[in-house]
């Protein structure tokens, strides 16, 4: 859906603003909402309300360019909360955690092999590892630092946040089923060697010390 990109008639402008509830921060589109976005019918066609608002105050949106909500409120049409973004930049500005995320922190997951929290950032199709950590807080800090280095549109990392962070889930290490079970300790080097050699943990455990040493040397871990 492209922008309207011409001045609204007096009647259309009146109708447009009658659907808006302005607050101190967001200007909320209070009527038609599809996927949370506001829509308005102008001259017989449907337009995204926030894009119309953007074009009214800032001019034409170039072809193929997305409009990003810095406030993460899709119903908001406040032009101060809108900016142009490429698809990639839009993805950098995630409002919520991936549903599969168990750590409560963006980019942080538990690595079963090393029994550590790993901080990861996906950037231009490649995973970047910020490191392995004993606790979520350190891993989160590392993930944020790396995103700030690689990304430009990751607002929530670049506080003061315009809205509340979504890290509210309780953080706990996954508990082993057997209370006496102790996960085998693997050094970072051994985990890397295993990974590079394409071995499972069971296969790794069956190796002799000599075989492991050989593999470490061959894999250059
Ligand atoms: Zn807003």
CA of 17 to the centre of ligand 1 (A): 15
* C-alpha 73 to ligand 1 mean position (Å): 6
Express each pLDDT in 58-80 by its tens digit: 888 888 788 999 998 999 999 99
Q: How far is the CA of 70 from the centre of ligand 1 (A)?
A: 7
Integer Cα distance of 26 and 124 in angstroms: 32
Distance 218 CA to ligand 1 centre (A): 55
Q: What is the mean pLDDT of residues 13-20?
A: 93
Q: Please tell me the predicted confidence (pLDDT) of residue 183.
A: 54
Q: Give the residue-averaged pLDDT of 203-207.
A: 84
pLDDT tens for residues 115-132? 899 999 988 888 889 999
Q: 185 alpha carbon to ligand 1 midpoint, in Å?
A: 48
Distance from the alpha carbon of residue 74 to the mean position of ligand 1, in angstroms: 8
CA distances from 26 to 85, 98, 116, 182 (A): 19, 25, 40, 51
Tell me what percent of the residues of the chain surpass a pLDDT of 90: 26
For position 197, what pLDDT does the model report? Answer: 82
For the chain, list the domains and their CATH numbers: 10-85 (3.90.75.20), 94-183 (no CATH), 188-219 (no CATH)
Distance 27 CA to ligand 1 centre (A): 6
DSSP3 helix / strand / coil % (the chain, rounded to 5): 35, 20, 45
CA–centroid distance, residue 140 to ligand 1 (Å): 26
* Cα 137 to Cα 37: distance, rounded to the nearest angstrom: 34
**Pairing state of beta strands 45-48 and 66-69?**
unpaired
For 186-204, how does the pLDDT look when each residue is reduced to its tens digit (9 = 90+)?
A: 777 787 888 788 887 778 8
Radius of gyration of the chain (CA): 24
Taking only the tens place, the pLDDT of each residue in 151-167 is 888 887 876 543 334 44
pLDDT number for residue 51: 93
The pLDDT score that the predictor gives to residue 119 is: 93
Query: What distance lies between CA 9 and its chain's CA centroid?
Result: 39
Q: Give the pair of three-digit tokens for residue 221.
A: 């871990």
């Amino acid at each position: 859906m492209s922008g309207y990109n011409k001045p609204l008639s007096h009647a259309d402008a009146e109708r447009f603003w009658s659907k808006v509830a302005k607050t101190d921060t967001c200007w909320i589109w209070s009527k038609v909402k599809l996927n949370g976005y506001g829509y308005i019918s102008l001259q017989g066609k449907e337009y995204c309300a926030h894009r119309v608002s953007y074009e009214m105050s800032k001019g034409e949106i170039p072809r193929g360019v997305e409009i990003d909500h810095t406030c993460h409120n899709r119903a908001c049409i406040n032009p101060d909360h809108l900016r142009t973004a490429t698809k990639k930049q839009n993805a950098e500005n995630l409002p919520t955690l991936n549903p599969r995320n168990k750590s409560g922190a963006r980019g942080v997951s538990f690595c079963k092999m090393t029994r550590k929290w790993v901080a990861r950032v996906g950037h231009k199709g490649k995973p970047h590892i910020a490191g392995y950590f004993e606790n979520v807080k350190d891993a989160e800090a590392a993930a944020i630092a790396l995103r700030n280095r690689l990304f430009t549109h990751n607002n929530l990392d670049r506080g003061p946040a315009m809205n509340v962070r979504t890290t509210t889930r309780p953080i706990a290490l996954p508990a082993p089923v057997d209370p006496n079970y102790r996960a085998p300790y693997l050094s970072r080097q051994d985990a890397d060697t295993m990974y590079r050699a394409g071995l499972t943990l069971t296969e790794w455990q069956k190796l002799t010390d000599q075989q492991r040493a050989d593999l470490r040397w061959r894999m250059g871990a």
